[in-house]
């Protein structure tokens, strides 16, 4: 149980285009979902926290107009990278809290974004 | 503010040897501490967590960690490592009631035959 999926696993896009990444909790309801970014050989940096049905809370320094987060249901959150640039290339990982087990955070497998 | 320091960026060790990955945290409030493992190009998998109670926490794959409040540490240990333990290990502290995790920079464990 407690599986989080991400789609796509890899995406290559051209500079200036937008890319949407989906994060789904497959067998539990996630009241809160988190989006992280990981640069090569570095740690995970929290980008934003999203709660179902409300606006996401962004970390300092993260552009909310560039990284659009929508938490439309208790099992789905999406991250859209708008007008992507090469510096947005990174590994994006989502995680979700099980509604009934707040201290358990389950991670998706990640999405490798490459902007050319 | 809460923060996590992983003192070693890389730890090479021979198979079947013991290993300790060090983690120190800073927090002015009650802490919830976690260790995660990340295999190449994958997400994170929870190894173990400390929320309260016994300071010695046992996790999956034979790992354990000890919460030491006076030393503000949460070191991860395994008495005998396998090649398959080669991965990146992240220590994390939970921030706030929503469950935001603050991660350390990670320790790359390399197990050699």
**pLDDT at residue A1, as a whole number:** 65
Average pLDDT estimate for B3-7:
92
Convert the pLDDT of each residue in B41-95 to its tens digit. Answer: 788 899 999 988 899 999 999 999 999 999 999 999 999 999 999 999 999 998 7
Collect all residues with Cβ–Cβ distance below 8 Å to A85 and sequence separation of at least 6: A15, A16, A115
Cα–Cα distance list, B76 to A3, B18, B23 (Å) = 25, 11, 8
Confirm if B19 and B77 have CB atoms less than 8 A apart.
Answer: yes
Q: What is the chain B residue with the closest CA to A32? A: B98
Task: Report, as ranges of residue numbers, the positions in chain A whose pLDDT lies below 70.
Answer: 1, 99-102
In chain B, residues with a C-beta closer than 8 Å to the C-beta of A112 are 41
Answer whether residue B10 shows pLDDT above 90. Answer: yes
Asked if B106 lies within 8 A of A108 by C-beta distance, the reply is: no
Whether the CB of A5 is below 8 Å from some CB of chain B: the reply is: no
Q: What is the pLDDT of residue B52?
A: 87
């Amino acid at each position: 149980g407690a599986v989080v999926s991400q789609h796509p696993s890899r995406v290559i896009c051209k500079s200036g285009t937008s890319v949407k990444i989906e994060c789904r909790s497959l067998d539990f309801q996630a009241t809160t979902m988190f989006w992280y970014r990981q640069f090569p050989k570095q740690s995970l940096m929290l980008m934003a926290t999203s709660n179902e049905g409300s606006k996401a809370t962004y970390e300092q320094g993260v552009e909310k107009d560039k990284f659009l987060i929508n938490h439309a249901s208790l099992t789905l959150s999406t991250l859209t990278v708008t007008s992507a640039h090469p510096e947005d290339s990174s590994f994006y990982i989502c995680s979700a809290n099980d509604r009934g087990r707040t201290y358990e955070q389950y991670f998706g497998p990640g999405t490798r974004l490459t902007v050319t | 503010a809460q923060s996590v320091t992983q003192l070693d960026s890389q730890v090479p060790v021979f198979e079947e040897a013991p290993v300790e990955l060090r983690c120190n945290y800073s927090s002015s409030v009650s802490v919830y501490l976690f260790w995660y493992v990340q295999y190449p190009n994958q997400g994170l998998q929870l190894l173990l967590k400390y929320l309260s109670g016994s300071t010695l926490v046992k996790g999956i794959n034979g790992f354990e960690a000890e919460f030491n409040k006076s030393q503000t540490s949460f070191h991860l240990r395994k008495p005998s490592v396998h090649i398959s333990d080669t991965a990146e290990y992240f220590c994390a502290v939970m921030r706030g009631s929503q469950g935001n995790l603050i991660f350390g920079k990670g320790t790359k464990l390399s197990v050699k035959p």
